Amino acid sequence: MCSRSVPPSMREVTSMTVEKSLGCLDQAAWEDLVARFGARMWAVARAFGLNHTDAADAVQGAWLRMVENLDGIRDPERIGAWLVTTTRHEALRLSRGRRGEVASGHDLPDAVLPDPAAAIVDADFGRHVWERLDTLGEPCRSLLRMSVLRPEATYAQIAIRLDISPGSIGPTRARCMSRLRGLLEEPA
Amino acid sequence: MRDEYLLAALRMAAGADPVPGRVSADARAAFHLRLPGGIVATPVEISGPRGARSGGGAPDIPEDEGPGVRRFAVTGLTIDVEAVVADGRLEVAGQVSPASGAETDARPDSGPSAEPGTGWQVEIRTSHLSKTRDLSENGRFAVGGLPTGWVSVVCHRPGEPPVSTRWMHVRP
Protein backbone atom coordinates (compact mmCIF):
# COMPACT_ATOMS: atom_id res chain seq x y z
CA MET A 1 0.00 0.00 0.00
CA CYS A 2 1.31 3.41 -0.92
CA SER A 3 1.72 6.12 1.66
CA ARG A 4 3.76 9.28 1.55
CA SER A 5 7.45 8.51 1.72
CA VAL A 6 9.69 11.35 2.72
CA PRO A 7 13.39 10.65 2.67
CA PRO A 8 14.86 11.59 6.05
CA SER A 9 17.75 13.96 6.36
CA MET A 10 21.08 12.52 5.35
CA ARG A 11 24.74 13.33 5.17
CA GLU A 12 25.93 10.74 2.72
CA VAL A 13 24.23 9.59 -0.40
CA THR A 14 24.73 5.97 0.55
CA SER A 15 22.82 6.31 3.79
CA MET A 16 19.72 7.69 2.14
CA THR A 17 16.58 5.91 3.24
CA VAL A 18 13.30 5.85 1.40
CA GLU A 19 10.73 4.35 3.66
CA LYS A 20 8.30 3.03 1.10
CA SER A 21 8.32 1.72 -2.43
CA LEU A 22 9.72 4.22 -4.91
CA GLY A 23 6.62 3.64 -6.97
CA CYS A 24 4.66 5.36 -4.23
CA LEU A 25 6.65 8.59 -4.25
CA ASP A 26 4.48 11.67 -4.34
CA GLN A 27 5.37 15.05 -5.79
CA ALA A 28 6.70 16.38 -2.48
CA ALA A 29 8.97 13.39 -1.95
CA TRP A 30 10.19 13.65 -5.53
CA GLU A 31 11.01 17.34 -5.10
CA ASP A 32 12.83 16.46 -1.91
CA LEU A 33 15.02 14.09 -3.90
CA VAL A 34 15.69 16.83 -6.45
CA ALA A 35 16.65 19.25 -3.69
CA ARG A 36 18.96 16.74 -2.02
CA PHE A 37 20.72 15.30 -5.01
CA GLY A 38 20.38 17.78 -7.86
CA ALA A 39 23.60 19.62 -7.02
CA ARG A 40 25.56 16.37 -6.71
CA MET A 41 24.26 15.16 -10.05
CA TRP A 42 25.05 18.48 -11.73
CA ALA A 43 28.57 18.50 -10.29
CA VAL A 44 29.23 14.99 -11.58
CA ALA A 45 27.96 15.80 -15.07
CA ARG A 46 30.08 18.95 -15.24
CA ALA A 47 33.12 17.08 -13.93
CA PHE A 48 33.12 15.23 -17.24
CA GLY A 49 33.76 18.53 -18.99
CA LEU A 50 30.28 18.62 -20.49
CA ASN A 51 28.91 22.00 -21.46
CA HIS A 52 25.72 23.25 -19.83
CA THR A 53 23.40 21.72 -22.44
CA ASP A 54 24.98 18.27 -22.29
CA ALA A 55 25.32 18.35 -18.52
CA ALA A 56 21.64 19.26 -18.26
CA ASP A 57 20.81 16.33 -20.54
CA ALA A 58 22.89 13.95 -18.42
CA VAL A 59 21.12 15.04 -15.24
CA GLN A 60 17.68 14.91 -16.82
CA GLY A 61 18.57 11.51 -18.27
CA ALA A 62 19.21 10.20 -14.77
CA TRP A 63 15.83 11.46 -13.57
CA LEU A 64 14.12 9.89 -16.57
CA ARG A 65 15.90 6.59 -15.91
CA MET A 66 14.44 6.80 -12.44
CA VAL A 67 11.00 7.46 -13.92
CA GLU A 68 11.26 4.32 -16.03
CA ASN A 69 12.74 2.25 -13.18
CA LEU A 70 10.60 3.32 -10.25
CA ASP A 71 9.26 -0.16 -9.70
CA GLY A 72 12.53 -1.87 -10.52
CA ILE A 73 15.04 -0.13 -8.27
CA ARG A 74 15.75 -2.86 -5.79
CA ASP A 75 17.64 -0.90 -3.21
CA PRO A 76 15.75 2.30 -2.43
CA GLU A 77 17.95 2.85 0.61
CA ARG A 78 20.70 3.82 -1.77
CA ILE A 79 18.65 5.98 -4.11
CA GLY A 80 21.11 8.87 -3.80
CA ALA A 81 24.00 6.68 -4.90
CA TRP A 82 21.81 5.32 -7.68
CA LEU A 83 21.03 8.82 -8.98
CA VAL A 84 24.66 9.94 -8.86
CA THR A 85 25.86 6.71 -10.48
CA THR A 86 23.23 6.96 -13.21
CA THR A 87 24.22 10.57 -13.87
CA ARG A 88 27.81 9.42 -14.25
CA HIS A 89 26.74 6.76 -16.75
CA GLU A 90 24.71 9.24 -18.79
CA ALA A 91 27.48 11.84 -18.68
CA LEU A 92 30.05 9.28 -19.76
CA ARG A 93 27.83 8.17 -22.64
CA LEU A 94 27.30 11.77 -23.78
CA SER A 95 30.99 12.56 -23.40
CA ARG A 96 31.93 9.56 -25.53
CA GLY A 97 29.34 10.52 -28.11
CA ARG A 98 30.81 14.01 -28.36
CA ARG A 99 34.21 12.46 -28.96
CA GLY A 100 32.78 10.44 -31.79
CA GLU A 101 33.01 7.11 -30.03
CA VAL A 102 30.25 4.86 -31.25
CA ALA A 103 28.49 2.65 -28.75
CA SER A 104 28.06 -0.97 -29.68
CA GLY A 105 24.53 -2.23 -30.13
CA HIS A 106 21.78 -0.14 -28.64
CA ASP A 107 23.22 2.64 -26.54
CA LEU A 108 20.72 2.47 -23.72
CA PRO A 109 22.26 1.58 -20.38
CA ASP A 110 21.18 -1.52 -18.56
CA ALA A 111 20.14 -1.48 -14.95
CA VAL A 112 22.46 0.63 -12.85
CA LEU A 113 23.83 -0.56 -9.54
CA PRO A 114 24.49 2.22 -7.06
CA ASP A 115 28.20 2.86 -6.71
CA PRO A 116 29.20 3.25 -3.04
CA ALA A 117 32.05 5.51 -4.19
CA ALA A 118 29.40 8.10 -5.10
CA ALA A 119 29.26 8.98 -1.41
CA ILE A 120 32.27 11.26 -1.79
CA VAL A 121 30.30 13.65 -4.01
CA ASP A 122 29.69 15.95 -1.10
CA ALA A 123 30.60 19.58 -0.40
CA ASP A 124 32.06 18.82 3.04
CA PHE A 125 34.31 16.16 1.61
CA GLY A 126 35.13 18.53 -1.24
CA ARG A 127 36.44 21.12 1.23
CA HIS A 128 38.69 18.46 2.71
CA VAL A 129 39.95 17.61 -0.78
CA TRP A 130 40.66 21.29 -1.48
CA GLU A 131 42.88 21.42 1.59
CA ARG A 132 44.91 18.51 0.29
CA LEU A 133 44.94 19.81 -3.28
CA ASP A 134 46.44 23.09 -2.13
CA THR A 135 49.41 21.22 -0.68
CA LEU A 136 50.36 19.87 -4.12
CA GLY A 137 53.26 21.44 -5.96
CA GLU A 138 53.11 22.90 -9.45
CA PRO A 139 51.94 22.21 -12.05
CA CYS A 140 49.56 19.84 -10.26
CA ARG A 141 47.92 22.48 -8.11
CA SER A 142 47.13 24.82 -11.00
CA LEU A 143 46.25 22.04 -13.40
CA LEU A 144 43.76 20.44 -11.03
CA ARG A 145 42.33 23.82 -10.07
CA MET A 146 41.65 24.47 -13.73
CA SER A 147 40.14 21.01 -14.15
CA VAL A 148 37.75 21.76 -11.33
CA LEU A 149 36.90 25.38 -11.98
CA ARG A 150 37.05 25.43 -15.79
CA PRO A 151 35.95 21.97 -16.91
CA GLU A 152 35.23 23.14 -20.45
CA ALA A 153 38.74 24.53 -20.98
CA THR A 154 40.46 22.96 -23.96
CA TYR A 155 43.92 21.48 -23.80
CA ALA A 156 45.14 24.40 -25.89
CA GLN A 157 43.77 26.89 -23.38
CA ILE A 158 45.25 24.99 -20.46
CA ALA A 159 48.60 24.69 -22.22
CA ILE A 160 48.82 28.44 -22.74
CA ARG A 161 47.69 29.23 -19.22
CA LEU A 162 50.10 26.84 -17.54
CA ASP A 163 52.89 27.02 -20.10
CA ILE A 164 53.06 23.29 -20.68
CA SER A 165 52.71 21.31 -23.88
CA PRO A 166 49.18 20.21 -24.84
CA GLY A 167 50.37 16.64 -25.28
CA SER A 168 51.52 16.40 -21.69
CA ILE A 169 48.28 17.61 -20.12
CA GLY A 170 46.49 14.26 -20.05
CA PRO A 171 49.36 12.26 -18.54
CA THR A 172 50.25 15.07 -16.15
CA ARG A 173 46.68 15.34 -14.92
CA ALA A 174 46.54 11.59 -14.38
CA ARG A 175 49.71 11.75 -12.28
CA CYS A 176 48.37 14.73 -10.34
CA MET A 177 45.08 12.96 -9.60
CA SER A 178 47.03 9.96 -8.43
CA ARG A 179 49.06 12.15 -6.06
CA LEU A 180 45.88 13.75 -4.77
CA ARG A 181 44.32 10.38 -4.10
CA GLY A 182 47.49 9.39 -2.27
CA LEU A 183 47.25 12.46 -0.05
CA LEU A 184 43.62 11.68 0.73
CA GLU A 185 44.53 8.19 1.81
CA GLU A 186 47.07 9.50 4.33
CA PRO A 187 45.88 9.94 7.91
CA ALA A 188 44.80 13.50 8.66
CA MET B 1 37.95 6.79 -5.84
CA ARG B 2 36.76 7.88 -9.26
CA ASP B 3 38.34 11.03 -10.65
CA GLU B 4 34.94 12.41 -11.68
CA TYR B 5 33.58 12.02 -8.17
CA LEU B 6 36.63 13.75 -6.69
CA LEU B 7 36.31 16.60 -9.18
CA ALA B 8 32.57 16.81 -8.49
CA ALA B 9 33.18 17.06 -4.74
CA LEU B 10 35.72 19.82 -5.37
CA ARG B 11 33.25 21.63 -7.62
CA MET B 12 30.52 21.43 -4.99
CA ALA B 13 32.84 22.82 -2.34
CA ALA B 14 33.92 25.64 -4.67
CA GLY B 15 30.30 26.62 -5.15
CA ALA B 16 31.18 28.28 -8.44
CA ASP B 17 28.75 26.43 -10.66
CA PRO B 18 25.31 26.14 -9.09
CA VAL B 19 22.62 24.04 -10.70
CA PRO B 20 20.81 26.15 -13.31
CA GLY B 21 17.21 26.79 -12.40
CA ARG B 22 15.90 25.15 -15.55
CA VAL B 23 17.77 21.94 -14.73
CA SER B 24 16.07 21.75 -11.34
CA ALA B 25 12.72 22.67 -12.87
CA ASP B 26 13.04 19.90 -15.46
CA ALA B 27 14.00 17.44 -12.74
CA ARG B 28 10.93 18.35 -10.70
CA ALA B 29 8.71 18.13 -13.78
CA ALA B 30 10.00 14.65 -14.57
CA PHE B 31 7.73 13.41 -11.80
CA HIS B 32 4.78 13.91 -14.16
CA LEU B 33 6.38 11.68 -16.76
CA ARG B 34 5.86 8.60 -14.63
CA LEU B 35 3.57 6.06 -16.21
CA PRO B 36 1.78 4.32 -13.34
CA GLY B 37 0.90 0.77 -14.25
CA GLY B 38 2.82 1.06 -17.47
CA ILE B 39 5.22 -1.44 -18.98
CA VAL B 40 8.66 -0.39 -20.20
CA ALA B 41 9.56 -2.22 -23.40
CA THR B 42 13.04 -3.68 -23.64
CA PRO B 43 15.49 -2.48 -26.28
CA VAL B 44 16.13 -5.14 -28.90
CA GLU B 45 19.19 -5.41 -31.07
CA ILE B 46 18.38 -5.20 -34.75
CA SER B 47 20.90 -7.47 -36.33
CA GLY B 48 19.77 -7.45 -39.95
CA PRO B 49 20.89 -5.08 -42.71
CA ARG B 50 20.09 -1.50 -41.85
CA GLY B 51 18.38 0.86 -44.21
CA ALA B 52 17.21 -1.96 -46.42
CA ARG B 53 14.54 0.11 -48.10
CA SER B 54 14.57 -2.10 -51.13
CA GLY B 55 13.68 -5.12 -49.07
CA GLY B 56 15.53 -8.40 -48.87
CA GLY B 57 16.64 -7.86 -45.30
CA ALA B 58 16.02 -10.11 -42.36
CA PRO B 59 12.43 -11.32 -42.44
CA ASP B 60 11.50 -9.77 -39.14
CA ILE B 61 12.68 -6.28 -40.02
CA PRO B 62 10.38 -3.84 -41.79
CA GLU B 63 11.47 -3.28 -45.36
CA ASP B 64 11.78 0.45 -45.09
CA GLU B 65 13.59 0.52 -41.80
CA GLY B 66 16.12 3.30 -41.73
CA PRO B 67 19.58 3.35 -40.21
CA GLY B 68 18.51 5.09 -37.02
CA VAL B 69 15.69 2.78 -36.07
CA ARG B 70 15.57 1.52 -32.52
CA ARG B 71 13.37 -1.41 -31.58
CA PHE B 72 11.66 -2.04 -28.26
CA ALA B 73 9.57 -5.05 -27.42
CA VAL B 74 7.34 -6.58 -24.79
CA THR B 75 5.36 -9.76 -25.08
CA GLY B 76 2.98 -9.28 -27.96
CA LEU B 77 4.10 -5.82 -29.02
CA THR B 78 7.02 -4.25 -30.84
CA ILE B 79 7.69 -0.54 -31.20
CA ASP B 80 10.14 0.70 -33.81
CA VAL B 81 11.24 4.31 -33.47
CA GLU B 82 13.36 6.53 -35.65
CA ALA B 83 14.16 9.96 -34.27
CA VAL B 84 16.07 12.57 -36.25
CA VAL B 85 16.81 16.26 -35.90
CA ALA B 86 15.82 18.50 -38.81
CA ASP B 87 16.14 22.27 -38.71
CA GLY B 88 16.75 22.09 -35.01
CA ARG B 89 13.53 20.25 -34.24
CA LEU B 90 12.95 16.62 -33.44
CA GLU B 91 11.07 14.41 -35.88
CA VAL B 92 9.92 11.01 -34.67
CA ALA B 93 8.49 8.28 -36.88
CA GLY B 94 7.91 4.63 -36.32
CA GLN B 95 5.65 1.66 -36.26
CA VAL B 96 3.77 -0.28 -33.61
CA SER B 97 3.43 -3.95 -34.43
CA PRO B 98 1.38 -6.41 -32.44
CA ALA B 99 2.80 -9.91 -32.61
CA SER B 100 1.07 -12.12 -35.09
CA GLY B 101 -1.76 -13.84 -33.25
CA ALA B 102 -1.77 -11.26 -30.47
CA GLU B 103 -5.15 -10.14 -29.26
CA THR B 104 -6.10 -7.08 -31.26
CA ASP B 105 -9.24 -5.80 -32.84
CA ALA B 106 -9.65 -9.27 -34.39
CA ARG B 107 -10.64 -8.00 -37.79
CA PRO B 108 -11.18 -10.92 -40.13
CA ASP B 109 -9.12 -9.31 -42.84
CA SER B 110 -6.17 -8.50 -40.62
CA GLY B 111 -4.16 -11.30 -42.20
CA PRO B 112 -1.30 -13.22 -40.71
CA SER B 113 0.53 -10.09 -39.58
CA ALA B 114 -1.70 -8.55 -36.94
CA GLU B 115 -2.53 -4.87 -37.11
CA PRO B 116 -3.17 -2.43 -34.29
CA GLY B 117 -6.64 -2.48 -32.81
CA THR B 118 -9.24 0.26 -32.78
CA GLY B 119 -8.38 3.13 -30.54
CA TRP B 120 -4.67 2.44 -30.34
CA GLN B 121 -2.65 5.61 -30.06
CA VAL B 122 0.94 6.63 -29.57
CA GLU B 123 2.07 9.46 -27.36
CA ILE B 124 5.47 10.90 -28.19
CA ARG B 125 6.82 12.46 -25.03
CA THR B 126 9.68 14.84 -24.39
CA SER B 127 10.61 16.59 -21.17
CA HIS B 128 8.62 19.64 -22.22
CA LEU B 129 6.04 18.61 -24.78
CA SER B 130 3.98 15.57 -25.70
CA LYS B 131 1.98 14.85 -28.82
CA THR B 132 -0.56 12.06 -29.33
CA ARG B 133 -1.35 10.46 -32.65
CA ASP B 134 -3.73 7.77 -33.86
CA LEU B 135 -1.93 4.90 -35.52
CA SER B 136 -2.39 4.27 -39.20
CA GLU B 137 -3.89 0.98 -40.31
CA ASN B 138 -0.47 -0.57 -40.49
CA GLY B 139 0.60 0.89 -37.18
CA ARG B 140 2.74 3.73 -38.44
CA PHE B 141 3.06 7.14 -36.87
CA ALA B 142 5.04 10.34 -37.42
CA VAL B 143 5.38 13.53 -35.44
CA GLY B 144 7.51 16.61 -35.98
CA GLY B 145 8.21 19.91 -34.30
CA LEU B 146 9.35 18.49 -30.99
CA PRO B 147 12.20 19.88 -28.90
CA THR B 148 15.47 17.95 -29.09
CA GLY B 149 16.78 16.13 -26.06
CA TRP B 150 15.02 13.19 -24.44
CA VAL B 151 12.13 11.38 -26.10
CA SER B 152 10.02 8.33 -25.37
CA VAL B 153 7.11 6.74 -27.23
CA VAL B 154 4.12 5.33 -25.38
CA CYS B 155 1.56 3.02 -26.97
CA HIS B 156 -1.91 3.34 -25.47
CA ARG B 157 -4.34 0.48 -26.03
CA PRO B 158 -7.88 0.51 -24.67
CA GLY B 159 -8.15 -1.81 -21.71
CA GLU B 160 -4.42 -2.58 -21.66
CA PRO B 161 -1.55 -1.08 -19.70
CA PRO B 162 0.44 1.52 -21.64
CA VAL B 163 3.71 0.32 -23.11
CA SER B 164 6.58 2.79 -23.32
CA THR B 165 10.02 2.74 -24.88
CA ARG B 166 13.06 3.62 -22.84
CA TRP B 167 13.97 7.30 -22.90
CA MET B 168 16.26 8.06 -25.83
CA HIS B 169 18.63 10.99 -26.17
CA VAL B 170 18.49 12.78 -29.52
CA ARG B 171 20.54 15.91 -29.89
CA PRO B 172 22.58 17.08 -32.90
- Tens-digit pLDDT profile for residues B98-141: 875 554 444 444 333 467 878 899 999 999 999 999 999 899 99
Amino acid at A98: R
Please report which residue ranges of A7-165 form alpha helices under DSSP H: 27-47, 52-69, 79-98, 123-133, 140-149, 155-162
The set of residues, in sequence order, having a beta carbon less than 8 Å from that of A1 and lying 6+ positions away, is none
CATH architecture observed for domain A123-185? Orthogonal Bundle (1.10)
Share of chain B above pLDDT 70, in %: 78
DSSP state of A111: P
Q: What is the pLDDT of residue A150?
A: 86
Q: What is the pLDDT of residue B104?
A: 46
Q: Grade residue A99 by pLDDT with cuts at 50, 70 and 90.
A: confident
Q: Contacts by B134-143 with C-beta closer than 8 Å and gap 24+?
A: B135/B96, B138/B95, B139/B95, B139/B96, B139/B97, B139/B98, B139/B115, B140/B93, B140/B94, B140/B95, B141/B93, B141/B94, B141/B95, B141/B96, B142/B91, B142/B92, B142/B93, B142/B94, B143/B91, B143/B92, B143/B93
Tell me the CATH class for B36-170. Answer: mainly beta
Q: Is B30 on the interface with A (CB under 8 A)?
A: yes
Q: With an 8 Å Cβ cutoff, are A60 and B27 in contact?
A: yes
Please report the residues numbered 38 through 97 in chain B whose beta carbons come closer than 8 angstroms to any beta carbon of chain A. 40, 43-45, 70
- Tell me which CATH code domain A13-120 carries: 1.10.1740
Per domain, the residue ranges of chain A are 13-120, 123-185
User: Residue B144 is inside which H or E element, if any?
Assistant: strand B140-146
Q: Which residues of A touch B10 (CB under 8 A)?
A: 126, 129-130, 133, 144, 148
CA distance B116 to A67: 27
Please give the interface size between A and B, counted as residue pairs whose CB atoms are below 8 Å apart: 163
- Tens-digit pLDDT profile for residues A24-47: 778 888 898 999 999 999 999 999
Mean pLDDT lowest among A74-78, A134-138, B50-54: B50-54
ipTM higher than the 0.85 cut: no
Strands B130-134 and B121-126: antiparallel
Q: With an 8 Å Cβ cutoff, are A184 and B12 in contact?
A: no
User: Residue A175 is inside which H or E element, if any?
Assistant: helix A166-185
State CA B97 to chain mean position distance.
13
- Tens-digit pLDDT profile for residues A122-175: 999 999 999 999 999 999 999 999 989 888 888 889 999 888 888 899 899 999
- Does the pLDDT at position A2 exceed 70? no
- The mean pLDDT of chain B is 82
Residues A142/A147/A149/A153 CA torsion (nearest 10 deg): 110
Pick the residue from chain B with its C-alpha nearest to A119.
B5
Backbone angles phi, psi at A168, to 5 degrees: -95, -5
